[in-house]
Amino acid sequence: MGLVFRVREVRLARGLSQQALAAAVGLSRQALSAVEAGRSVPGTDVALRLAQALDTRVEALFAPPAGVERVEARLAGGPHAGLPGRVLLSQVDGDWVARPLGERSAEAVQAADGVVTGSHGGRVEVELLAGSAAPRDRLVVMGCAPALGLLASRLAAPPRRVPLAWVHGTSAQALDALEKGEVHLAGIHLRDARTGRFNLPQVQRRFAQRRMLLVTFASWEQGLVVAPGNPLGLRRVEDLARPRIRVVQREPGSGASKLLEQLLSRSGAPPLRPPVLVARGHLEVAQAVAHGAADVGIAIQSVALAWGLDFVPLSSERFDLVFPEALASDERLERLIDELGSSAFRRELESVGGYQTGASGQVVDPR
């Protein structure tokens, strides 16, 4: 989709020569001339410098054609270097939220709803892409379980017809995003070190002033993912401290990293050497072991099965989806819970391997 270039129009209105503006933004006069003529689209940094030098907004210099739909949104995911490009849109608590689809993220291959064209007052302006409609009905869940993609696919199909976007994140990141109003649901599997209970204590502490509910997604085994036949005889977390054992670890804030910390502390084993890799998700752990980049890592059993690897169980865990009580009466959430409890979903998830679905779809009140 083309842009309407207004750099020359605004420059003349400010009484600046082409040479003066080029010098102010660090461009050659020839480069600025190409931008003004619409032959060259500047990068984000140059567009921002032009807007600053001309005391205006980027979107006033490079405007979309008339009739293009735009929305104003909060930018999710913390600080960003410059303006992001492609974004996923959703409405959370009545406000638009734009989540960048970075090149290295698990969501990079997902089709974007729009592109960011400017920012002001801590918010961004998003131009919807051709053929896109503002996705007002979309639910967004953040979590690390690969089977969240399966849930999204099943919900999108008849008869549910609920658009669900899965955004990858650790349990801690998911709770942070839920607290900030950036997602509708947070997927977590966190064992409380004091009580041994899963998820409820963390939700109660984090949301003491706001009522939350949990719905069980599934239970699983988490443990050591090792090469076929377990040639190094790795059976306990203490074995990870043996010389020359290459460990792929999960990022801080993940359920796997917290489990490793707790088990090492309980065993009295020495601290591990720095990991050979830090994986972003269970699948990356299995990939590292399968490709020979690491000897062992902690992940869920289903990814070991998917990659033909051996698995040594360490902990039985429950993976829950956390959501605000106010969302419980939303028809989209009701359909999601129905799908989790359906015999078809349970059967398919169990056929993947490594999941137990006896409690799937059960709603838990932390009170």
Each residue of 320-339: pLDDT tens digit? Answer: 999 999 999 999 999 999 99
CA dist 311 and 296 (Å) reads 10
Q: Identify which of 32-36, 133-137, 169-173 has the greatest average pLDDT.
A: 169-173
pLDDT at 94: 87
Same domain, 162 and 301: yes
Same domain, 8 and 95: no
Beta-carbon contacts of residue 282 (< 8 Å; ≥ 6 apart):
144, 145, 146, 256, 299, 300, 302, 303
Task: Give the count of domains, the chain.
Answer: 3
Global pTM reads 0.79
Its domain, for residue 235, covers 137-367
Same domain, 349 and 295: yes
CB 288 within 8 A of CB 277: yes
Same domain, 174 and 322: yes
CB 76 within 8 A of CB 99: yes
> In this predicted structure, which of 12-26, 261-275, 277-291 has the lowest mean pLDDT?
261-275
Same domain, 165 and 214: yes
Instruction: Provide, rounded to the nearest whole percent, the portion of the chain with pLDDT above 90.
Output: 64
Same domain, 264 and 327: yes
Which of 78, 97, 128 finishes a domain?
A: 128
Collapse the DSSP code of 341 into the 3-class scheme (helix H, G, I; strand E, B; otherwise coil) and give the result: helix
Mean pLDDT in residue range 15-30:
92
Beta-carbon contacts of residue 290 (< 8 Å; ≥ 6 apart):
307, 308, 309
pLDDT at 221: 95
Residues 108, 109, 114: CA angle, nearest 5 degrees: 75
40 pLDDT more than 90: no
Residue with tokens 């997604």: 217
pLDDT at 270: 83
CA dist 111 and 179 (Å) reads 26
CB count, 10 Å around CB of 179?
A: 14
Lookup: tokens for 233: 């005889």
Lookup: tokens for 18: 């082409």
Collapse the DSSP code of 23 into the 3-class scheme (helix H, G, I; strand E, B; otherwise coil) and give the result: helix
pLDDT at 329: 92
Residues β-bridged to residue 218: 319
Q: Look over the chain and give the mean of its residue pLDDT values, rounded to a whole number.
A: 90
pLDDT at 64: 63
Query: Cis link prior to 159 (omega < 30° from 0)?
Result: yes
Same domain, 168 and 115: no
Same domain, 202 and 280: yes
Mean pLDDT in residue range 119-137:
77
Q: How many whole angstroms from its chain centre is CA 232?
A: 34
Residue 133 class from Cβ within 10 Å (0-12 exposed, 13-18 middle, 19+ buried)?
Answer: exposed
104 pLDDT more than 70: no
pLDDT at 1: 44
Same domain, 74 and 49: no
pLDDT at 281: 92
80 pLDDT more than 90: no
CA dist 128 and 162 (Å) reads 21
Same domain, 223 and 88: no
Cα-only R_g, the chain: 24
Same domain, 93 and 168: no
Same domain, 205 and 354: yes
pLDDT at 198: 93
